[in-house]
Structure 1
Amino acid sequence: MDTIPDDERGNTIWRLLSACWSYEPKDRPSAMEVSKVMNALGFRVHQDSKSTVKFTDEIKVEDIAAFFTQNGVIDYTAELQRHNLQSPYLTKASAILYRIDLSIQRSDQYIAHTQRVIVKCVMDQSPYKQLKRATRELYFWSSYKHVNILPLLGFAILNGKLAMISPWIENGSVTEYVKKQHTADYYGLCTQLSRAINYLHTNGVIHGDIKGDNVLVSNEGIVKVMDFGVSIMAQLRIEFTHTGVGRGTERWQAPEILRRKSDSSKEGDIYALGMTIIEIYTHDRPYGDTDIGHDEKSEIIMGTRRPGRPWRLPFDNRGTAFWALLQRCWSVDPAARPTSDEIYKELVRE
């Protein structure tokens, strides 16, 4: 047994093996429980890295579920069937969200524990488009793990639809958080957010819809970026037919995206990151209650309309340098904007 590592991961494996050898059959874990523990510990079924799944009109939700299960995403369909999901926590045009207490598998123990979670069901006009959108988001979300990315706990098939499961974050969005937390560390929150975007960009991912509503804050004050519904990745292991590319939300859109001259891009993410930082410091969306009509769009595109300096941003050397950095994020010329790496390094330079 000297091949089992002498650390917490190894201890978990040993506890699992010991349970498998229990004298009483009823005390042994099921095959599903064993699989969940091994998946949670990072063990994956070996597959050719070049293998893909082609998303066609004939594909079924069961095919997609099998693909994600083989790639280590935990299927909670059986657990979810024990719940009567009739009253959504939140209904939006793009998704229905349920908040429930679910038996979740953790990587440091083989016995599941109960955790409050959000179950997200993507909505669309047709079942095919709904499955396609949900599959894209689940693929992006499951591909990357980082302290500042909201964890994906798993997926489920709910009423024939693909659903995603993530932890419930009580504090809500970053804008809700700063309104309630009068001692919030604004600069620290912005630094964490820039770190998350730098992580995505470094791994070839364009988020595509950075805004305050898509940034949560945990009870420990940790930023958690979410919502990968319009994200873009250079290489996909699911081969999609042509899919329209989302461009984010208007108030956060860069001039070239507002002009419809560009799809989502890293430079567009940087512009939206700057606008989200303004949200954090002002407790309000960019431009506040001002309607963004034709004239306002023209001013944004020309670079003559930008947010003013928030009063919460200190007038010291650090605050002045930060404000100059934000103004670069809103450059009309995308090439003049700083990269996510530049922004993060600037914020942690102290």
Structure 2
Amino acid sequence: MFRRLVSHGCRNLTEHISSISRQPIERGGFGIIYRGRLGDGTLVAIKLLSQRGRVSSRSKCKLAKRASLESYSWSKCNHPSIHELLGVARYRGHIAMISPWMEFGSLPKYISRHPDVDRLQLAHQTAIGLAYLHLSGTVHGDLKGSNVLVSANGVAKLTDFGSTKLREHTLRFTTTTSCDSFSVRYTAPEVIEGGPQTMQSDVYALGMTILEIVTGEIPYSNVKVEAAVLYKILRGELPPRPNNQHLSSNSAGDKLWSLIAVCWSTKPSDRPDSAAIRDQLEIMAIEARRT
């Protein structure tokens, strides 16, 4: 599978890694992130897909396929609002995905450390990235604040295509079962009920992510138990409108809340497409800077 990835255009960086952290810098879901450096001095993130506990040989094979598919999907993305994949490498028996190290980290970390940052601009940049993916025929499948990184010049970049589906590009691996996982607070009801990830479910997640950006809190932040969040989603209970700087009871706040709320429409077909959200957020960000 590794050779096939390289033959399909992924750069082999195995021999270019000069150093790597002894312990993972971050863990979460199926991913483990190490920090490393390439021979030319470039600081990089080295991502391995993994499962906790004992893993059967069959599960290892499925995980390798998932890593291959994610790497291939990622390699086809080339846009300023998408975190760049520099290449792949063999590391500790895994396929590792190599990308530039983002010192500012994820959106939630960046916002907590820079509370006065332009939130609408970050939301707009996130929507730009998603609109690019959708125009390319790609479903992200796990959009949330922690899967958006911030570059050194303050640009939001989408990453972690854990559930990506490509329509244009196909790499011939046999997938016997799904390894997908989802983040309940950002997941559309139809997906929780067993439906497929779609561009419309991405838009639902984008609405939740915009809410997270402008409030600095995860959706349903007052509900601590995931099962309780799941129950609320399936009952059609949406997060209440907060009263903060961006969502206060004025014309600008009403427009933004209406945009967020329509992303959560019960019928997927009633949700706007990501390009429309991108365009509306651009207008809102410009108007906010004028006031």
Does the C-alpha gap of structure 1 residues 84 and 197 become closer, same or farther in structure 2, counting only changes over 3 Å? closer
Percent sequence identity is: 33
Match of 1:119 in 2: 46
Shift of residue 314, structure 1, vs aligned partner: 4.9
Extract unaligned runs of 5+ from structure 1.
1-63, 104-112
CA distance in 2 between partners of 1:191 and 1:156 (Å): 33
The counterpart of 1:326, out of the listed 260, 263, 268, is 260
Does the C-alpha gap of structure 1 residues 230 and 296 become closer, same or farther in structure 2, counting only changes over 3 Å? closer
CA distance in 2 between partners of 1:89 and 1:294 (Å): 28
TM-score norm. by structure 2 comes to: 0.88
Match of 2:98 in 1: 165
Which amino acid in 1 is paired with 2:261? Answer: Q
Extract unaligned runs of 5+ from structure 2.
287-291
Contact in 2 for aligned 1:147/1:224 (Cα 8 Å): yes
Contact in 1 for aligned 2:112/2:216 (Cα 8 Å): yes
Shift of residue 128, structure 1, vs aligned partner: 0.6
Shift of residue 336, structure 1, vs aligned partner: 1.1
1:40-81 C-alpha deviation (Å, 9 max, x unpaired): xxxxxxxxxxxxxxxxxxxxxxxx33323233322111123x
The counterpart of 1:286, out of the listed 207, 219, 236, is 219
The counterpart of 2:193, out of the listed 259, 280, 305, is 259
Match of 1:198 in 2: 131
1:186-210 C-alpha deviation (Å, 9 max, x unpaired): 1100111111111111111110000
TM-score norm. by structure 1 comes to: 0.74
Contact in 1 for aligned 2:81/2:129 (Cα 8 Å): yes
Match of 1:78 in 2: 15
Which amino acid in 1 is paired with 2:190? Answer: E
SS at 1:224's partner residue? strand
Structure with greater contact order relative to length (CA < 8 Å, sep ≥ 6): 2
Q: State whether structure 2 residue 36 is matched by structure 1 residue 100.
A: yes
Contact in 2 for aligned 1:301/1:332 (Cα 8 Å): no
Aligned length: 276
Does the C-alpha gap of structure 1 residues 123 and 294 become closer, same or farther in structure 2, counting only changes over 3 Å? closer
Q: State whether structure 2 residue 251 is matched by structure 1 residue 317.
A: yes
Shift of residue 298, structure 1, vs aligned partner: 3.9
1:236-275 C-alpha deviation (Å, 9 max, x unpaired): 4312323316252101111112222x12111111111111
The two structures, once aligned, show a CA RMSD in angstroms of 2.0
Q: State whether structure 2 residue 195 is matched by structure 1 residue 268.
A: no
SS at 1:288's partner residue? coil
CA distance in 1 between partners of 2:112 and 2:96 (Å): 31
